[in-house]
Amino acid sequence: MEAKDAATHFAPELHIPKGTFNVDFYIKFGAIEHFRFCNDDGSIHVVELEIAGAIFHLHETMTWFNALEPISAKGVTSVIGLFVPDVDKVMEKAMQAGATEIKPAQDYDYGYRQGMFRDPFGHYWQIQKKI
């Protein structure tokens, strides 16, 4: 029998500014926190979160490999595509948690329903499902 975590899957690492103490947006959005490592001043070094089985990490910006987070980069550093059963419900939950809507949910000719928002740290999320 294979271990639960033996399956291949993505776990994006989203960078946040050094000195970040609060990532409550993600908990309000529905993420479960697995673990958190803090710096001596109490700011977040790394936190592992999960949304319905999709694991991702928030990590303070690391300069040793020129990592950027969206605010200091003054732009989009990546788009996180999250497939869900109900796009509209997840988009609404994101707005209630403090996200900014970029594109409302709608159906596209290529067979997807998608909506996009920006989280408080500037990361873009594309919420989607095949229709």
pLDDT in 10s for each residue of the chain, 131 residues: 445 666 777 889 999 999 999 999 999 999 999 999 999 999 999 999 999 999 999 999 987 778 888 988 898 888 999 999 999 999 999 999 999 999 999 999 999 999 999 999 999 999 999 99
Neighbours of 124 (CB within 10 A): 19
Q: Which CATH architecture has domain 4-130?
A: Roll (3.10)
Contacts of 33 (CB under 8 A, 6+ apart): 26, 27, 47, 48, 49
Tokens (6 digits) for 81: 């595509």
The whole-number pLDDT of residue 7 equals 72
Question: Domain locations in the chain?
Answer: 4-130
d(CA 61, CA 59) in angstroms, rounded, equals 6
CA angle 12/16/17 to nearest 5° reads 160
Q: What is the pLDDT of residue 105?
A: 98
pLDDT at site 71: 87
Contact of 48 with 34, CB cutoff 8 Å? yes
Tokens 């001043």 label which residue?
A: 41
Q: What does pTM read for this prediction?
A: 0.88
